[in-house]
Amino acid sequence: MIDICDGIIMPGGYRIYNFYEYVVKIAIEKNMPVLGTCLGMQVLAKVDNGFNCLEKNETNINHVQKGVKYAHKVKILNDTLLKDITNKDEIEVNSKHNYHVLKVNNFKASAYSEDGLIEAIELPGKDFVIGVQWHPEKMIDYDENANKLFDQFIFECLKNKKTKHQSA
């Protein structure tokens, strides 16, 4: 089933199921575009670390703000795909997560919240494997950076589809 996909979106949620990890591992092996949002980013980190590397949020920022357009700012690091996509040093994001990623190994943290939590990760050496702790899908109607992220994901999916058809 994964082979018929041109890319994978790992959405948010409340529980990491084993098959999420399986899908992510296969997609990464195949260099498929992967976009993880909120829990989806946490799945990417779990696959990277080989264990659950999450911790309950206990900082000065309330990271669980449902129905709020922008909850806090995120600092984007240089030399990252996320920086290339947004062309910004800092963006505002929504926030609805109770847990955060403590660390990454093979992935690279590409953005941090003002309180120092990892807010985005990406996998160097792959065309497009990005996880963001926020919910860009909820921001499509009003946020250019959310649209840029999805536009790039779709572009990478179309590129992957073309590559699969040329090699078939």
38, 100, 122, 157: which is the annotated catalytic residue?
38
21, 92, 114, 137: which is the annotated catalytic residue?
137
Q: Does residue 137 have an active-site annotation? A: yes
Q: Does residue 38 have an active-site annotation? A: yes
Dist. CA 136–CA 130, nearest whole Å: 12
Dist. CA 87–CA 24, nearest whole Å: 27
Dist. CA 142–CA 134, nearest whole Å: 15
| 3-state SS string for 5-21 | CCCEEECCCCCCCHHHH
Dist. CA 139–CA 74, nearest whole Å: 15
Q: Does residue 29 have an active-site annotation? A: no
63, 72, 97, 135: which is the annotated catalytic residue?
135
Catalytic (active-site) positions: 38, 135, 137
